[in-house]
Amino acid sequence: MLTKRKVRTTILLVLGILILVNLLSTRLFFRWDFTADQRYSLSKATIDILENLTEPVTITAYFSENLPPDIEQVKNDFRDLLVEYSTRSNGNVVYEFVNPNESPEIEMKAQRSGISPIMINVREKDQLKQQKAYMGAVIQMGNRQEVIPFIRPGAAMEYELSTNIKKLAVTDKPKIALLQGNGEPKLSAMPQLRKSLSVMYDVKTFEFSDTAGIPSEYKTLLIIAPTDTIPEKYLNYLDEFLAKGGKILVALNKVKGDLSKGMAEKIYTGLGDWLKNYGVEVEDNLVIDANCTNVMVQQRQGMFIMNTPVKFPYIPIITKFAAHPITKGLEAVLMPFVSSIKINPSDTSLSVLPLAMTSEKSGIEKPPVYFNVTRQWKKSDFGLEALPVAVTVEGKKNGNNIKMVVFGDGDFVVNGEGQQAQRLEPDNISFMVNAIDWLSDDTGLVELRTKGVTARPIDPALEASTKTLLKYLNFLLPIILVIFYGIYRYNRRKKIREKLKNTRYV
């Protein structure tokens, strides 16, 4: 028999258990993350950064209210991430959400902090209108601050937050050098790469001299698209730099393509011969690939001139990557006028591994190559497959630890200057910066840069009929399953009713 005392005791016990569980959950907690890229779990690199914070970090998230559902999800994901950061940092990360649209004063403060509004489309009462929205954050540590001006859907939020927090916490950034003086593009011709690198590194330009080699203060030397011959003495400086523990990244053009001239010619820098000593040979060819981008061709139709997209196999879209921290999360990289890389191991103590390969329908052409955009490509033109276009080199040579990354293309991260400048695909920059992180940074943040990528392109090799079948299957299969379940449930309940109807009760 229940008494008032027992009821009170039961209620108090339940409340006590709930309070105890809540207290324990602030210290001991776990959750399951079934996403393919573990999007909702903090990486070891982030946890290490948070646990080693010596000063509190304040994050002010500026988000507008009443956003469309897909945009509102970004806000919710960011809030969940900040909860994780606060818990993992033992309270050293403090955050708040502010609606800049509440008042002109708050909006002005957000803009002064570097948060710019964006215009989004909102459907209201069957009408499409544009609404001003804020989706950014300010990270502060002491009197220093960093800004994330815009948190876009699908972005690598953890990478943005962790790198900005580390940028505030670290006073001395690792130094990396960009080689100049041999026809390489200037740092100003690579603004996207420079911006990404500036978060973690102090990037300086460097030129060889006859009196001294590469200073040991640089962790990594970047050699991107040289066009002039590099003297042998300077190549010996590269060996000395590696022997002292330095790292080298080489993005080499063995064949230089020029669309304005309509041709590609072989160039000699001496780096190709130097790389052979480490088991890598960037070949004198141009890769062609059926999985490629389009170029616009002007065609006259009557009185009008039309721009028509035409497949251009000399600019392959690389989608086949090895399982490696450098390539983790990459979807597609455009590598114009890339050369294949041949692996010739000259020393068994060195390991050369392919990072990126062409598709199953690829081929090569020897220079000089004359471009014909109206060429009718045949199946026989693409008789090769999985040609390496980027590799890593690791191991020991003459007792020294060697670590290098080699690309068969030097132009895939070059925007250009002036009117020739162009916006590059995000994965192009991620591929290069991931490689630099792998060489220069041991924190593990390299694996976070592409975390959150949501693009899933359709395989271009699929037949049109297969694409149509998949489209209708995606649309109809859920409906068919619901209908069959409904029929099954109806028949089951009908049998139960019949059984109950025929049951005789005494």
pLDDT at residue number 478: 87
H or E element: which one contains 267? none
What pLDDT is stored for residue 267 in this prediction? Answer: 94
Which residues, in sequence order, are CB contacts of 315 under 8 Å at separation 6+? Answer: 292, 293, 295, 334, 335, 336, 337
Sign of the Cα torsion 206, 210, 216, 220 reads positive
pLDDT at residue 347, rounded to an integer:
72
- Predicted local distance difference test score (pLDDT) of residue 492: 87
Alpha carbon distance 294, 267 (integer Å): 26
pTM (whole model) above 0.95: no
The two structure tokens encoding residue 315: 């600019």
For residue 394, the model assigns a pLDDT of 93
Contact residues for 73 (Cβ-Cβ < 8 A; gap 6+): 153
Note the pLDDT of residue 448: 62
- Which pLDDT score, from 0 to 100, does residue 38 have? 60
At 445 the pLDDT is 62
Correct CATH for 173-448 of 2.60.40, 3.30.70, 1.10.3470, 3.40.50: 3.40.50
In contact, 200 and 155? CB cutoff 8 Å: no
- 92 φ, ψ to 5°? -75, -15
- CATH number for the region 31-167 comes to 3.40.30.10
Cis peptide bond N-terminal to 368, omega within 30: yes
Which amino acid makes up residue 31?
R
> What's the confidence (pLDDT) of residue 69?
81
Pairwise CA distance, residues 320 & 358, whole Å? 6
- Burial (CB count <10 Å: 0-12, 13-18, 19+), residue 285: buried
Query: Tell me, what's the pLDDT at 150?
Result: 87
Q: Do domains 31-167 and 173-448 have the same CATH topology?
A: no
Domain range list for the chain: 31-167, 173-448, 465-501
Mean pLDDT by 10 residues, the chain (506 residues): 72 85 64 60 81 90 86 87 88 92 90 87 70 90 89 77 84 89 95 88 92 91 96 94 94 92 93 94 96 82 75 94 89 95 85 95 94 89 95 88 95 89 91 92 61 55 74 84 89 84 66
Going from the C-alpha of 322 to that of each of 239, 274, 373, 382, 394, the distances in angstroms are 27, 25, 31, 22, 15
Question: What pLDDT is stored for residue 236 in this prediction?
Answer: 95
Residue with tokens 């102090």: 202
In this prediction, residue 504 carries a pLDDT of 65
Instruction: Assign 3-class secondary structure to 153-190.
Output: CCCCHHHHHHHHHHHHHCCCCCEEEEEECCCCCCHHHC
